[in-house]
Amino acid sequence: MDKDRLINDSDDREVSMRSLSSYMRNEKTRVALLSLLASVLITIMNITAWLLTNSLAVLAEAMHTFLDILVTTITLIAVSVGSKPPDREHPFGHGKAESIGGLFGSLFIIIAGILIGYESAERIIMKVPFSPDVVAIIVMSIAIIIDTNRSRALRRMAVKWNSRALEADSYHFMSDIAISASVVVLMIVGLIIERFNTGLFDRWGTLLDAMVAFGIVIYFSIIGIRLMRTSIDELMDRTSEDLVRRVMNIASSVPGVASVKDVRARRVGSMAHVEVTISVSDHLSISEAHDVADNVESAVKHEIGQSIVMVHVEPELREKIEKILAGIRDPLIVNIHDLDIINSHEIGIIVSMHVVVKSNARLSSINRVIGNIENNIRQAVPNARVWVHLEPDNKDINITEIRKMAEAVSSKYGGHVGDVHVINIEGMSVMWILVYLPPDMSVSKAHDIATEIENEIAKVYSMPHHITVSVLPET
């Protein structure tokens, strides 16, 4: 049922995915490009402010914005590649390109933090002064305004397209605003202290500057490690527990779903890949079960955004009956196999099975066993028809008899029987017979002889069995 649905929908889905990916790529690429241009402008402004002030905090912010250029460039490339539709070489899409971009970006951020931390320590030791400047305050205030607008634009696109890369950039630049604001405050405090108490500024200005820079270093480290962990998780296809819980809740709320058996979910870039296994009532027709699966797929896509969802359907009744049969304990029953459940509009639900019983049991006793099976099933499924095929347990299979039957067939064609092995595994007889045939005999003829031996044995032993006849040339 799932296979048919996927085949029927595959062409339409491929067209829609390609058109959506094209539009998504253009819009996401556009906002990433604007963010890159903003990073270039802000970096130039921050370098200008640093040249005016010689402040380590401003230098840290300038390095930060320079790294923003690198990170945003990587994001631009990653978003552009990651939004491409699936192709022959990449049937699951290119979404992991965004995760790779995020991994490189996190490495740049961590390296920048290490460099700024080293510079901070060196300036404290060497007591390198800095000069707060009004122009620097104005320049960095303009940068805050640009970052605010950029962060809002990135956030809108991240929400619209469920893009991890753009969302990370959005939060990243929101943090930039806080850092830039702290540097502006440092400049203002520095100007005030310098105006009223030059000696105090000379003693504490460098330390205050370095402390702000250390704060930026700590921020770099936290953001870099978080981005690295997220990127590695996506590259390793780590399951998103939150996404799994959301999908389970969504699928469970769809009418017609009896239970949600299993959910597997992972994110690849901005796309979620979800597999859901649901159980539905056996009273539903194939068409009705198909509709339930479609409704689950639509509900999941609507709630979690961009996603590829596959829904598998299992009948609820089979699991229930399997549990009932597993709970029946009767010394006359060896095993139960070949369970089949048929939903017929003409006569209702039919439960068919093969029951292997002790070969020496009396029919009167077996009738009680069958009645017990029927009663247990009908308690769970009223008015169900229960069909039981009885099979004797032939544990006392005679290897000598097996050898004679195989020898009778093989000798007609100039062959003879070698080893014969018979074992019993949970009511299943497993037989292996080695037959030697003339070396000039064709493979086709040898196969026919092996099949004939298997059929002769099956006529005598009706219990579940697995017969393997191996053929070798006679030497």
Give the DSSP letter string of 33-98: HHHHHHHHHHHHHHHHHHHHH--HHHHHHHHHHHHHHHHHHHHHHHHHHHTSPP-SS-TT-STHHH
Judge if 181 and 299 occupy the same domain.
Answer: no
Q: Is residue 429 classed as helix, strand or coil in its secondary structure?
A: strand
Residue 320 within any structural domain of the chain: no
Specify the CATH number for the domain of residue 365.
3.30.70.1350
Number of domains observed in the structure of the chain: 4
pLDDT at 264: 87
Judge if 184 and 309 occupy the same domain.
Answer: no
> Is the model's pLDDT at 44 over the cut of 80?
yes
> Is the model's pLDDT at 418 over the cut of 80?
yes
Rounded Cα distance, 383 and 290, in Å: 25
Residue 381 within any structural domain of the chain: yes
Residue 3 within any structural domain of the chain: no
> Is the model's pLDDT at 469 over the cut of 50?
yes
Please tell me the least confidently modeled range out of 107-116, 198-207, 304-313. Answer: 198-207
CA distances (Å), origin 451, targets 119, 433, 458: 83, 12, 11
Q: Which range of residues forms the domain containing residue 292?
A: 241-314
Judge if 114 and 247 occupy the same domain.
Answer: no
Strand order in the sheet with 385-393: 333-344, 348-358, 385-393
pLDDT at 380: 79
pLDDT tens for residues 318-342? 777 888 898 888 888 888 888 887 7
Q: Read off the pLDDT band of 23 (50, 70, 90).
A: very low
Rounded Cα distance, 62 and 197, in Å: 28
DSSP-derived letter for residue 210 is H
Q: Read off the pLDDT band of 142 (50, 70, 90).
A: confident
> Is the model's pLDDT at 3 over the cut of 50?
no
Rounded Cα distance, 256 and 289, in Å: 8
Q: How many CA atoms lie within 13 A of 374 on its CB side?
A: 14
Q: Read off the pTM.
A: 0.47
pLDDT at 19: 46
List CB contacts of 131: < 8 A, sequence separation 6 or more.
Answer: 52, 53, 54, 55
Judge if 334 and 435 occupy the same domain.
Answer: no
